[in-house]
Amino acid sequence: MFNIAIMGFGVVGSGVWEVIKENSKDISKKLGGNGESLVDVKYILDLRTFEGHELADRVTTDINAIINDKSVSVVVETMGGSHPAYEFSKAALESGKSVVTSNKECVAKYGKELSECAVRNGVSYLYEASVGGGIPIINAMLNALTANKIVKVAGILNGTTNYILTQMKECGTDFESALKEAQRLGYAEANPAADVEGLDALRKICILGGIAFDQIIPTEMATPVKGITEITLEDTAFAEKMGYAIKLLGVAEKCGDRIKLLVAPHFVSNSSLIAATSDVFNAISVTGNVLGESIFYGAGAGSLPTASAVVADVIEAIRCKPLPMLREYAEEGFVLSEDEIPTKLFVRSKKAIEGFENVVINGEYGTILPEALYGEQKKLIEKADVISTYFVL
């Protein structure tokens, strides 16, 4: 029997138990058993008591009970936030237990340190569920795509905002109601500002960019970082008329020896799979120098999809194949500043921008400028009475 502990029994943590129960026989076979139950949840660390729940007798508020129990080999960290998730994960690793996490904030901030701590202690620190919910994007990038030099990773990395944008576009739901529904469905962060202001997508693109370019990229290096709060119905009208959807994207792309790394709402051509990605789904495009582009699509948030990735990592940890994050921190200047970003740009303005085709709605002009440095684009549109701009994928 392999005993695990779950730290944080919320949307994802409780989903982990559901998945272990539901797929117990298959999990057993994957661990070399004959269908008998091989993974048991010995502890749940949470401040709540979960009275009446079948695991209520396993609930504790004492991290030391878990750390000091030698029969626990894997700790699942689904608490969210940096603290005390970081301290508890570190203590678990130092006591010789593997840690499996869905916590992108902790991975983006402390992933290198925790991963190195795991290697020192001969255990694993696994974080597949931290990006893309149930989509196995991290495994794909670390393993299946390893023959490639990755040149670009871009996509929809936040289910909540994609759900909100879809509800607003397709059902005419207002922002607040769509957000409430996303919270009710368990998609949103404890503080949904992290979703709507782009911070959640930022943490995820830093994790993926780090793998792609073999550097640890602190979130502070990214620029710009924008969420969905400034998207207006007028912008959406232009996007629709011109054959685009507005999507919040995280982008990490090689530009010579440096990279661009940003989170922002983009105009995405309706012909692209990313534009067709609706509701809570995520779609992540990875371009490798030998493979070309491939797109990973699936449920980007929610209890069971995210737990699917967590439990896969639990099985991986039990099988003992450590995946160390031994890359170094990126040097200052590795990420392009905003003005240095090469991009196509959608501009909504009160005056026409001379020399470019435009679309007119209610006396306003919508123009797509061809690729140039963002700093140069800004100079070009200075006198056009600009209302809004969007990068174009």
Q: Which is nearer to ligand HSE, 63 or 307 (CB)?
A: 307
Contact flag: residue 188 with ligand HSE (CB under 6 A): yes
Contact flag: residue 77 with ligand HSE (CB under 6 A): no
**Binder among 17, 187, 365, 391 for ligand HSE (CB under 6 A):** 187
> Any residues with CB less than 8 A from the CB of 103 and at least 6 apart, and which?
77, 78, 79, 80, 81, 85, 127, 130
Query: What are 108's two structure tokens?
Result: 């983006």
| Smallest distance from ligand HSE to CB 189, Å | 5
Q: Compute the residue count for the chain.
A: 393
Strand order in the sheet with 150-156: 292-299, 281-288, 150-156, 244-255, 258-269, 386-392, 342-349, 364-373, 359-361
DSSP 141: I
**Binder among 78, 158, 215, 377 for ligand HSE (CB under 6 A):** 158
| Smallest distance from ligand HSE to CB 300, Å | 5
Q: Which is nearer to ligand HSE, 301 or 317 (CB)?
A: 301
# residues contacting ligand HSE (CB under 6 A):
11
Q: Which is nearer to ligand HSE, 185 or 352 (CB)?
A: 185
| Smallest distance from ligand HSE to CB 301, Å | 4
| Smallest distance from ligand HSE to CB 374, Å | 27
Contact flag: residue 159 with ligand HSE (CB under 6 A): yes
Q: How far, in Å, CA of 186 to CA of 195, rounded?
A: 12
Q: How far, in Å, CA of 19 to CA of 303, rounded?
A: 10
**Binder among 77, 105, 128, 189 for ligand HSE (CB under 6 A):** 189
DSSP 48: S
**Binder among 105, 128, 195, 316 for ligand HSE (CB under 6 A):** 195
Q: Which is nearer to ligand HSE, 91 or 264 (CB)?
A: 264
Q: Which is nearer to ligand HSE, 88 or 163 (CB)?
A: 163
Q: Which is nearer to ligand HSE, 281 or 365 (CB)?
A: 281
Q: Looking at residues 199 to 238 of the shown chain, list those that interact with ligand HSE (rule: CB under 6 A).
A: 200
**Binder among 14, 89, 103, 160 for ligand HSE (CB under 6 A):** 160
Instruction: Pick the catalytic residue from 204, 226, 254, 260.
Output: 204
| Smallest distance from ligand HSE to CB 151, Å | 25
Of 152-160, 228-236, 313-321, 348-356, the segment contacting ligand HSE by CB under 6 A is 152-160
| Smallest distance from ligand HSE to CB 141, Å | 17
Q: How far, in Å, CA of 217 to CA of 171, rounded?
A: 38
Closest of 134, 189, 138, 108 to residue 16, by C-alpha:
134
Q: Which is nearer to ligand HSE, 11 or 336 (CB)?
A: 11
Question: What backbone phi and psi angles, to 5 degrees, belong to 260?
Answer: -100, 140
> Any residues with CB less than 8 A from the CB of 235 and at least 6 apart, and which?
246, 348, 388, 390
CA distances from 243 to 7, 224, 270, 308, 389 (A): 46, 25, 6, 35, 16
| Smallest distance from ligand HSE to CB 355, Å | 40
Query: What are 73's two structure tokens?
Result: 């080999």
Residue with tokens 């690793």: 93
Answer yes or no: 351 catalytic.
Answer: no
- How do 244-255 and 150-156 pair as beta strands? antiparallel
Which single residue brings its beta carbon nearest to ligand HSE?
A: 160
Query: What are 308's two structure tokens?
Result: 């699917």
Q: How far, in Å, CA of 209 to CA of 218, rounded?
A: 10
What is the pattern of x (binds ligand HSE, CB under 6 A) and - over residues 278-317?
----------------------xx----------------
Q: How far, in Å, CA of 30 to CA of 289, rounded?
A: 34
Q: How far, in Å, CA of 181 to CA of 198, rounded?
A: 19
Query: What are 368's two structure tokens?
Result: 């797509």
> What is the contact surface with ligand HSE in residues (CB under 6 A)?
133, 158-160, 187-189, 195, 200, 300-301
Residues belonging to the active site? 204
